[in-house]
Amino acid sequence: MPANELLYRTALSSLQGSLAVINAQESPLLHELCLKSDGYFLQQSFKPVVDQLQRQGLTVARDFNGMFDDIVVFPSKNKQLTLSHMALAMLSLHANGKMMMACANVHGAKSYDAALKKLTGHTSSTSKSKCRIFSAKRNDAFDEKLANQWVQAADMRRIESHGLYSQPGLFSWDRADIGSQLLLQHLPELSGEGMDLCCGYGFLSERILRKYLKIRAWSMLDADHMALDCAKKNIHPWQDKVKLYWQDAQCDGLPQKLDYVICNPPFHTGQQQDIDLGQAIVAQGCRSLKRGGHFYMVANRKLPYETILAKHLRSHTIVIESQGFKMIHGVR
């Protein structure tokens, strides 16, 4: 049984009042859980999951707030962000309220169980289907000071290594990734209208907008609203020419008839590698170009994007391969 299903089933068996779910994940069991609760609050900032939940008729918010009797937490890929969510959950419980979390053993379940015990002084945990589910109640042993430290450790802040606002949980949040640096080094002069597809916290966009003054209009698109919140601060000097889009780049409508698209596509869904995800995004990016428009992308050297580019562009070529990455330029 997957960790998500295990957690929702456990929550259904013990729900005692109002409910919140942090980093909510789609499941028919969630709909049942919300109906059973005395009021619910679902937090999720990732657009594809938000869309799934809304199609179930559920109400979703990007930011978490409120006090609850029960809070369910799903771990993220980043440990600091997950610890922050655990701490926020404990801070948001009524007295004697309960927080529940489940995690696959291979994704650090034991360490999260230990962290919760450090935070609360106690946990109740069981193992099943190569997962661990654990919970704690808010009582006098709860370390509120430590909880606030964990929340603050995952807040948005300016990062010294690249000088931009970022936060744990975002791709390459505390350093400029090698692929993006390679792309920047080999871009030609840019002007006109372009887009940073899957922009993250805006590392590529900030560097490009600072360097290429003839850019007339610039679109930034990402599925994670947490990333866009950072990106908005990072491109503030050029806000008059920039539009931010919270979109699922696989299927939502994108800006059209662009002179060029810049892309460092993701290739993971949750903890799992998902090559189809990156390929779908690249195909969408190609379709956003006008005739003669240029597509510039960077990817792990072993990832298969050339077939997709050949299908949607008149031509494409590898500009450079270095340090395990490749930069590709294509023309529609």
Residues 94-103: pLDDT tens digits? 999 999 999 9
> Domain check: are 120 and 25 in the same one?
yes
For residue 176, CA distances in Å to 33, 182, 183, 202 come to 41, 10, 12, 11
> Domain check: are 149 and 163 in the same one?
no
User: What are 246-255's pLDDT values in tens digits?
Assistant: 999 988 889 9
Q: Looking at 100, 120, 153, which one is the last position of a domain?
A: 153
Structural domain for 167, as ranges: 157-331
Half-sphere exposure of 83 (CA within 13 A, CB side): 22
Give the whole-number percent of the chain exceeding pLDDT 90. 89
> Domain check: are 170 and 268 in the same one?
yes
Average pLDDT over residues 26-38: 94
What pLDDT score was predicted for residue 129?
82
Q: Looking at 115, 131, 153, which one is the last position of a domain?
A: 153
CATH number at residue 296: 3.40.50.150
Most confident of 95-109, 122-136, 211-225: 211-225
> Domain check: are 148 and 203 in the same one?
no
The residue ranking higher by pLDDT, 310 or 3, is 310
> Domain check: are 106 and 176 in the same one?
no
Tell me how far apart the alpha carbons of residues 205 and 282 are, in angstroms, rounded to a whole number. 18
> Domain check: are 122 and 136 in the same one?
yes
> Domain check: are 116 and 263 in the same one?
no
> Domain check: are 241 and 227 in the same one?
yes
User: What are 263-292's pLDDT values in tens digits?
Assistant: 999 875 555 556 888 899 999 999 999 999
Tell me how far apart the alpha carbons of residues 50 and 229 are, in angstroms, rounded to a whole number. 17
> Domain check: are 9 and 137 in the same one?
yes
> Domain check: are 166 and 140 in the same one?
no
Write down the mean pLDDT value for the chain: 94
> Domain check: are 136 and 177 in the same one?
no
Q: Looking at 117, 135, 153, which one is the last position of a domain?
A: 153
> Domain check: are 85 and 169 in the same one?
no
What pLDDT score was predicted for residue 269?
54
Number of separate domains in the chain? 2
